[in-house]
Each structure stands twice: as C-alpha cells, then as structure tokens.
C-alpha cells in the first residue's frame, strides 16, 4: 500500500469518527452542522454506523494490501454518499447548504481513493 493511500484512509477514519462522535454525544450540534433535524433514535444509530465505518477505514489503512476488501468497502461508502447527496440536491429535497458540503467532501474522497488504489495496484499492490 502506498503511503498516500494509507494517509487518505486515516483521514477518512478521522473524518467519520468525528461525525460519529458528534451524532452520539451532541446530536443538537450535528443538526446545526447538517442544517437538518433528526429523530433522536436515528441520530444515535447514524453515530454508531459512522463510527463503525470509521473503524473499517482504520483497519483498511493498516492492511498491507491496498486493494483489500476493507479499502473497497470505504470506496463504496464514499461513492454511495456521493450518489445519495447528489440525489438529495438534484431532487430539491435538500438545499446546497445542506447537501453540498457532504457531496463535495465525499466526491473528493471517492476520486482520491480511486486514484490511489489504482496507483497502488500499478506499483505492485504492497
């Protein structure tokens, strides 16, 4: 695994962990950040889900093989967020101030993971 891919995965793990902690510990702050209101049960569930994927990203960063199933899972997660937030924005369900930031961040992370995984593969995968 290239150092760049490992750093990207650690960054994603940190990003997800911060959001997960905010949703679990300070759901009102999470509502302010996302400019939405959440059912309290869903906030806790989203926090736990986000922390779980943070752990998966952390494990992927520690894996020796860049194209591991764990790094693929994180790629699918970020790409899925691009699709979901893109749909929410294009359908008018959420405004740009609500869907734009997570759409932009996840788009950049998805492209970064795609490029770094491909680069790592061309360099031998280890």
The model's pLDDT over 30-44, given as tens digits with 9 standing for 90+, comes to: 888 888 777 777 888
The model's pLDDT over 93-123, given as tens digits with 9 standing for 90+, comes to: 988 988 899 999 999 999 999 998 888 777 7
Range of the domain at 94: 3-122
Alpha-carbon separation of residue 94 from 6, 16, 34, 97 (angstroms): 33, 21, 10, 8
Total count of domains within the chain: 1
Tokens for 85, please give them.
């937030």
């Amino acid at each position: 695994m290239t150092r760049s891919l490992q750093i990207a995965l650690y960054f994603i793990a940190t990003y997800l962990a911060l959001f997960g902690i905010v949703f679990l510990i300070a759901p009102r702050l999470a509502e302010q950040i996302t400019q939405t209101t959440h059912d309290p049960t869903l906030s806790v569930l989203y926090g736990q889900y986000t922390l779980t994927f943070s752990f998966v990203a952390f494990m992927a960063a520690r894996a020796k093989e860049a194209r591991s199933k764990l790094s693929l899972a994180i790629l699918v997660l970020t790409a899925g967020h691009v699709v979901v937030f893109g749909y929410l924005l294009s359908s008018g369900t959420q405004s740009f101030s609500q869907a734009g930031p997570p759409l932009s961040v996840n788009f950049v992370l998805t492209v970064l993971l795609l490029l770094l995984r491909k680069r790592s593969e061309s360099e031998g995968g280890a």
